[in-house]
Amino acid sequence: MKRRKFIQNASLSTLGIAVGPYVFASEIKTSISEEKDSQNNASGFPMVIATWNVNDSTAEAWRVLQEGKSALDAVEKGCNIEEANAEGQSVGIGGLPDRDGNVTLDACIMDSKGNYGAVVYLQHIMHPISVARKVMEDTPHVILAGKGAEQFAYSKGFEKTNLLTEASNKAWKEWKKTSQYKPIINIENHDTIGMLAIDKNGDISGGCTTSGLAYKMAGRVGDSPIIGSGLFIDNEIGGATATGLGEEVLKTVGSFLIVELMRQGKTPQQACEEAIGRIIKKSPNYKDFQVGYIAVNKKGETGHYAIHDGFWVTKYQNDKNENIASDFYDKK
Ligand code: SD4
């Protein structure tokens, strides 16, 4: 419900509302950061934070962390839950297809040692994040695409699965009646799961998995599987991950930016706000799309910020699994 509300809110923004003035990132009110920082500075680990309302995913990651396993195991298993949820229409099975009716998946994973693996434009495999982990651990490469990624997955024992559910097929057929391709918010959808975890040793890992934008052009790849854009981890500093219109995240290398801003001394909240500010500064049409970021630093302090209302995060820390409505830039 909350995710859908987000889309509606974002869609409203396309109805001819005038573009606001250019804004410099540093002009974004620091008072927001301070207020949010006091809410977010529950520190400590193990902990896990993820984009959207994904309590079952964070609960699974938490369970893995409680067993004393690594943050890497936690993000993989946590993301697997949402990938297998056929009702989530932008991750794994049930994901809305591209405009030709093919469900194509992007995912990546990054560990505390700086290792990274990704799959892009992967079809017929329910758990792209697990394939990404295999790319990271079992190949000399970091990204595998399309058919090559699919063949690699089969070689590792993943099963061929029909990812197009009845509900998504129906939605696609409905969309085909107009076939209006506008790579902006009105046909964008959001459930992408980006997850950051810190294990009992204080080591950080992250994962990001998505079916990308609904009805995208065939071959389109978003930010989610691209290191530095959809996800970045530096175990000395922290991690960040993104959701929303991937093209905008890619152009500003958002997750890397957030980690570098934290390196310079910003809190996770300030860093997320600055990264959103960069997008707003560069894209006068920011009212037409959404981007949301989450971040965590080495102490387990978190931040989250979006362009528009409706972005939620789920955090499991200090034995509490909670959904949090994120603050946002465009207060109208
Ligand atoms: C993409 N960032 O492919 C993803 C979409 C997304 O929730 O986040 N959807 O651009």
Ligand 1 neighbourhood includes 199 CB (under 6 angstroms): no
Ligand 1 neighbourhood includes 290 CB (under 6 angstroms): no
Answer whether residue 104 shows pLDDT above 50: yes
- What value does the mean pLDDT of the chain take? 87
Q: Give me the mean pLDDT over the 203-209 stretch.
A: 98
Q: Are 79 and 193 in contact (CB under 8 A)?
A: yes
At residue 94, the pLDDT reads 82
Please name the helix (run of DSSP H) or strand (run of DSSP E) that holds residue 244, with its range, or none. strand 238-244
Ranges 28-32, 95-99, 241-245, 267-271: which has the least confidence: 28-32
What residue segments make up the domains of the chain, in order of their start? Answer: 33-306+313-323
Which is more confident, 85 or 104? Answer: 104
At residue 51, the pLDDT reads 95
**Is 252 among the catalytic positions?**
no
Angle between helices 268-282 and 30-40 (to 10 degrees): 140
State pLDDT tens for residues 24-64: 344 444 444 555 655 556 789 999 999 999 999 999 999 99
At residue 89, the pLDDT reads 75
Counting other chains too, the contacts that 284-287 makes at CB distance below 8 Å and 24 or more residues apart are 284/19, 284/22, 285/19, 285/184, 286/19, 286/20, 286/330, 287/13, 287/14, 287/17, 287/19, 287/20, 287/330
Which is more confident, 104 or 10? Answer: 104
At residue 150, the pLDDT reads 98
Task: Report whether 252 belongs to an annotated binding site.
Answer: no
Ligand 1 center from residue 221 Cα (angstroms):
10
| CATH assignment, 33-306+313-323 | 3.60.20.30
- Look at the block and give the residue holding tokens 């939605």: 171
At residue 85, the pLDDT reads 86
Q: Are 52 and 190 in contact (CB under 8 A)?
A: yes
At residue 22, the pLDDT reads 31
At residue 188, the pLDDT reads 47
Ligand 1 center from residue 212 Cα (angstroms):
5
Ranges 41-55, 81-95, 144-158: which has the least confidence: 81-95
At residue 122, the pLDDT reads 97
Ligand 1 center from residue 244 Cα (angstroms):
5
What phi and psi values does residue 195 have, to the nearest 5 degrees?
A: -135, 135
pLDDT tier at 256, thresholds 50, 70, 90: very high
At residue 40, the pLDDT reads 59
> Whose CA is closest to atom 7 on ligand 1?
190
Which tokens sit at 188?
Answer: 């964008």
